[in-house]
Amino acid sequence: MAYYSQDGDTLSPPGRAARALDDHEESVLVCDGSGHSVLEQRPLMPAVHAWLENHHVNDWTRDGETLLWYVAARIGDMYDEHLTEAIPTEDLVALARDLLARGADPNAAEGHVLMAACEGDCPELMVPLLCEAGADPNLWKAPWGDKGTPLSMILRDRLWNGPTYAKIHEIARALLRSGAKLDACLTRPQDGKDESAEDLLQAHEEDLRKDFPELGPESATFRQFVAIKGLVHGVRAAKGSYARYVKKELLVLRALVRKRRATTADEDQRTAFDILARSPDEIAWRILGFRRW
């Protein structure tokens, strides 16, 4: 399969299958701090397109990492801080979208592209994009001796070292919507213990209360964390199905709107709520973007 640029130029040799890069090709692609590799060129998009004229979009390095992996992980911050500043987040997301359109496999790189996005600098943008493209949220990786899924990365490490709780909530929602499992999110080989999403959240809450006793129930930060817990609890109550969870939530919301008991952030939302309440089920599902159940 050939990939083409907007002006019709071929960007991958026709019929060329993805393959492992040799040492020289890998050195040309991977950031090494020299400033000469493809992923260190600015502007980045033209440099990548030039590389794709002779390579398949899914070619991989000796570590199983593809071009999409490097973009999802935010390539600059792994090598040189000044490069990170030179790659705007919107450019990285645009490039990831471009690579996916050209056939980049979100489950390549030994299935770690989604994990790389969870570890990267803009997971709130990269994770939903990869999930929509078919990334498997249940592929495991064994960093730091522990074996975990992308959900464990988000609910353990990124809660302390990452985006805001509100963004974590949306990342977890994207993973759960794409089918992330709540059980055995993290396995600790040293004691053979499997931890669920609830276990990870409970451990974080205990540390949160110990380290920040001033964060009471009235705290906006704590309320955002509770919202994450509520999302996980709701999906668990729906037997692990995000679709069933949202369908139930929507039915409850519509019933409350009809009874004029639903709360809104402001009065301007009332019209939208009324339209949702009066709409047939099929239209209501489509309004919220759920095409299958």
C-beta separation of 229 from 203 below 8 A: no
Q: How big is the CA angle at 267 (ends 266 and 272), to the nearest 5 degrees?
A: 100
pLDDT recorded at residue 222: 86
pLDDT recorded at residue 36: 78
pLDDT recorded at residue 41: 83
pLDDT recorded at residue 73: 87
Q: What is the share, in percent, of the chain residues with pLDDT greater than 90?
A: 46
Instruction: Give the confidence band of 120 by pLDDT, cuts at 50, 70, 90.
Output: confident
CA pair distance 81, 54, nearest whole angstrom: 29
Q: Give the pLDDT mean for 98-124.
A: 91
- pLDDT tens track for 3-38: 344 444 445 555 679 999 999 999 898 876 666 788
Q: Roughly what angle, to the nearest 10 degrees, separates helices 165-177 and 242-258? A: 110
Instruction: Give the confidence band of 104 by pLDDT, cuts at 50, 70, 90.
Output: very high
Which residue ranges make up each domain of the chain? 1-119, 137-240, 251-293
- pLDDT tens track for 217-272: 778 888 899 999 999 999 999 999 998 888 787 777 777 777 767 665 555 556 66
pLDDT recorded at residue 268: 58
Per-position b or e across 46-69, b if 16+ CB within 10 A of its CB: eebbebbeebbbbbbbeeebbbbb
pLDDT recorded at residue 4: 43
On average, the pLDDT of the chain sits at 82
User: Is 213's pLDDT higher than 80?
Assistant: yes
pLDDT recorded at residue 1: 36
